[in-house]
Amino acid sequence: MSHAYRPLVILSEAKDRFAAERSFASLRMTCVVLSLLALVSCRNEDADAYGNFEATEVTVAAEIGGRLLSFRVEEGDRVARDSVVGLVDTVPLLLERQALVARRAGALARARETDAKIGALEVQRSIADRELARTKRLLEQSAATAQQGDRAERDARVARQELAGAWAARAGATQEVAALDAQVASMDDRLARGRITSPLAGTVLARYVEPGEFVQPGQPLFKLASLDSLTFRAYVGNAQLTQLRLGQAVRVGVDRGDSIATFPGRVTWIASTAEFTPTPIQTREERADQVYAVKVMVANPKGRLRIGMPGELTIAPGSASE
């Protein structure tokens, strides 16, 4: 090829490449438009409100301090109510309880000893009272001396005082036994709290510790929630608010690819005051309007719904007046 034709060939190749790039850009723009149209078509224009699913999450914490001997929960596990999922070392508490039980046994022994002493002192007081009464009769008949009368009165008074002291000791021993009983009961309660139990039937969402770690009282161990039913929180305007009432049956829809799956729900709570729509929910224009928060309970027996999943609320026409 001659040098005279080379610029023409280069210009032709550049034109072809530019045409190809313009065609590709046009095709890409068409794909973007089609995607946007598909997204818009998936949105249910009949929905009355939009929101997200949530659940009541419970964080279980350690009730006593100690080394975590066992911990048998994993994220995603389902646990039953009151089931034991872990154990904190309670050997020091058990030794304390044994010491308290020994002290209680000693206090009971002293109480029994005091009871026996009270019986003997009551006999002595009875004898001293009879001797005093006899001496007084003899003194009236001038058959006894004043010294004998003083001695009889002294013996009777001493017997009464010793008996009163024995009863006081008996009361003190009884109070000591009661106090030790309370301490033993408190120790039993702490020993029981060494067993980590689930406060409700649900699914473990997070696990924070591992077996062998030393935990402190109040330290979070794991978090769970009941996923058999979820709460759908949505925000409605004044127009939809007049159509809602507590206990009303509604429909909640979630995106399922190319369609909307609907679930039956029941309104359990309606806010008494209006608020501005939270930022993540609606557009800037929609956030400028005040709305009311609504909670809908939705059954989730098959676990198809998830915490945080977006959804849409549909109110059946005329359902509020039924």
Nearest CA-CA partner of 104 in 170, 191, 188, 175: 175
- Residue type at 64 in one-letter notation: I
Quick check: pTM over 0.75? no
Return the CA Rg of the chain.
Answer: 43
Report the Cα 51 to chain-centroid distance in Å: 26
Nearest CA-CA partner of 63 in 188, 218, 220: 218
CATH number of 49-55+228-321: 2.40.30.170
- Decide: 292 and 241 in contact? Cβ < 8 Å: yes
Q: Report strand pairing: 214-215 vs 66-71.
A: antiparallel
Q: Which CATH number fits domain 57-89+195-225: 2.70.150.10, 3.40.50.1820, 2.40.50.100, 3.40.630.40?
A: 2.40.50.100
- Decide: 269 and 246 in contact? Cβ < 8 Å: yes
Domain definitions of the chain by residue range: 49-55+228-321, 57-89+195-225, 91-191
Per-residue pLDDT tens, the chain, 322 aa: give them.
Answer: 444 444 434 334 434 544 545 554 454 444 433 433 333 344 455 678 889 999 999 999 999 999 999 999 999 999 999 999 999 999 999 999 999 999 999 999 888 888 888 888 888 888 888 887 888 888 778 777 888 878 888 888 888 888 888 888 888 888 999 999 999 999 999 999 999 999 999 999 999 999 999 999 999 999 999 999 999 999 988 888 888 899 999 999 998 877 888 999 999 999 988 887 665 555 555 555 688 999 999 999 888 899 999 999 998 765 544 4
- What 3 state SS string does 82-116 have? CCEEEEECCHHHHHHHHHHHHHHHHHHHHHHHHHH
- CA gap 273, 290 in Å, rounded: 10
Side-chain-side CA neighbours of 16 within 13 Å: the count stands at 6
The DSSP code sequence of 136-190 is: HHHHHTT-S-HHHHHHHHHHHHHHHHHHHHHHHHHHHHHHHHHHHHHHHHHHHHH
Residues pairing with 71 in the sheet: 86
* pLDDT at residue number 297: 96
- Reduce the DSSP state of residue 30 to 3 states and report it: helix
